[in-house]
Amino acid sequence: MKVDSIKKKILKVGKIVFSTDIGEFSFLNPDNIKGWDSLKHIEFVFGLEEVFGITFTESEIQLLVDHNVLLELIKNKINQKTK
């Protein structure tokens, strides 16, 4: 899966969970999105897991507040899944 496609899917999940158009991928973090609290974070994680058919470990879930880490984790998990 191409990076642009992954980013679009992440933003789509974010738009649904946070009820807002996030805009730029680089704005995807709790400091920029009103209402991103611990409950919304878990909803976001579950949405990502469902859309991409992957699962995150408990330690990975804590890292998913940085858009770059999020993208790399998802890319790696997709690559592992297709091997």
pLDDT above 80: residue 83: no
Q: What is the pLDDT of residue 1?
A: 82
Q: What is the pLDDT of residue 16?
A: 95
- In three state form, how does the secondary structure of 19-81 look? CCCCCCHHHCCCCCCCCCCHHHHHHHHHHHHHHHCCCCCHHHHHHCCCHHHHHHHHHHHHHHH
Quick: pLDDT tens for 19-75: 998 888 888 899 999 999 999 999 999 999 999 999 999 999 999 999 999 999 999
* Domains defined for the chain, CATH in brackets: 3-82 (1.10.1200.10)
The pTM (predicted TM-score) of the whole model is 0.92
